[in-house]
Amino acid sequence: MVGLDFHHNFFLKEHNTFGIAARAEKLVVVQNVESLLAVIRANTVPMRVLGGGSNILLTGDLPGLTIKNEIGGIEIVLENEHEVLVKIGGGVVWHDLVLWAVGQGYGGIENLSLIPGTVGAAPIQNIGAYGVELKDVFHSLDALDLQTAEPLHFTLEKCKFGYRDSIFKQDLKGRVVIVDVFLKLQKTPVLYTAYGDIQKTLAEMGITEPTIRDVSNAVIHIRQSKLPNPKEIGNAGSFFKNPELEATDFQTFIQEFTHAPHYPQPDGRVKIPAGWLIEQAGWKGKRFGDAGCHAKQALVLVNYGEAKGEEILGLAHKIQSSVKEKFGICIIPEVNIW
């Protein structure tokens, strides 16, 4: 196709933050909707979409065609006295969007600073951090069906957002490519600083009346101090979701593990930090060849150099079995396994 370069047997080590040395049978980079439509209409082989590669574990080479989504653009499409509706291309780097919003003085996503990946991947995961989730600012998105090239529009309700979950990880897994995302950002934002160490970090910075930029900087500082840099050691951030227990199950759990940290949720369930469970089960800092559990954050599985995806997945399975045996709790991967 004119203007498009198809790469064969493409090396993916630099295109996934775990640094797994897998290959794509065929890969093409698309930077606009027209090119994406042309690719979908012309190909009959299985297709999958790759964004920033920050929330995947490659367990082998990728057959068929891999589409690298680099559709760009940040545009205000509606505006009133209180908020702006922003259209963002699916290939925009998420943190670049956060920095743009902070620079414009638009609030709502500053707590999501430094989350790796692209805007198009954000709704799939319903990304979240420090008391804020994507769904809190989400308006809608446009997508294309990977089989028919049919244009699709998803409202907040249609996305079926849950905790690190959406319709794109369930019924529509692998079936659509997200082209544009529309977010509602606030001109007079309400800051969320009570979650985690944000308030403590702001105090250490000597800030008593924070702005959205201050909150963003605090979150960046916290993330950099707690999570390993993928450029230095391969990882995809938090590997497991924090489990949420029903009230009756929590009462049974807390009677035995009285000092366990826990966070009541609006729906009556109680969230238990997966990192605490993994650490208590004895996995923190453990290493098996080049696959390991990070020494400072047990929730992060890492590739120390040349680990294969199957080795990291095997370690994950062992951790799951150990936590289940010790606590009776199932922990589920947050990372997508390819």
pLDDT one-digit tens code per residue, 149-170 = 999 999 999 999 998 899 999 9
Q: Of residues 70, 133, 238, 311, which has the active-site annotation?
A: 238
Flag whether pLDDT at 85 surpasses 90: yes
Map residue 141 onto helix, strand or coil: strand
The pLDDT of residue 126: 96
With a cut of 70, say whether residue 3 has pLDDT above it. no
pTM reported for the whole predicted model: 0.88
Has residue 205 got a pLDDT over 70? yes
| d(C-alpha 268, C-alpha 302), whole Å | 34
Q: Which of 83, 164, 216, 311 is catalytic?
A: 164
Taking alpha carbons only, the member of 244, 243, 242, 241 closest to residue 270 is 244
Q: How many angstroms separate the Cα of 333 from the Cα of each of 15, 57, 204, 209, 236?
A: 20, 10, 34, 38, 11
Quickly state the pLDDT bin for 4 (edges 50, 70, 90): confident
Q: How far is the C-alpha of 302 from the C-alpha of 20, rounded, in Å?
A: 11
In the residue annotation, 238 being an active-site residue is answered as yes
pLDDT on residue 196: 72
In angstroms, the first-to-last Cα distance of the chain is 27
**Does residue 22 have a pLDDT over 90?**
yes
pLDDT of residue 335: 92
Percentage above 90 pLDDT, the chain: 89
pLDDT score, position 43: 81
pLDDT of the residue at 123: 97
CA distance 68 to 300: 25
Residue 247 structure tokens: 């009230």
pLDDT tens for each residue of 123-136: 999 999 998 999 99
Dihedral pair phi/psi, residue 242, rounded to 5°: -75, 120
Judge whether 213 counts as a catalytic residue: no
Provide Rg for the chain, Cα atoms: 20
Provide the percentage of residues in the chain whose pLDDT is more than 70.
99
DSSP state of 121: G
**142 pLDDT exceeds 60?**
yes
- Between the CA of residue 3 and those of 27, 50, 85, 183, 287, what are the distances in Å? 14, 19, 32, 31, 45
As given in the structure block, the two tokens for residue 286 are 């453990």
List pLDDT tens digits, range 311-328: 999 999 999 999 999 999
pLDDT digits over 168-178, tens only?
999 999 999 99
What is the average per-residue pLDDT within 327-338?
94
Average pLDDT score over the chain: 94
Q: Note the pLDDT tens digit of each residue in 24-81.
A: 999 999 999 999 999 999 987 889 999 889 889 999 999 999 999 999 999 999 999 9
The residue ranking higher by pLDDT, 12 or 163, is 12
Give the per-residue pLDDT at 1. 53
pLDDT for residue 299: 95
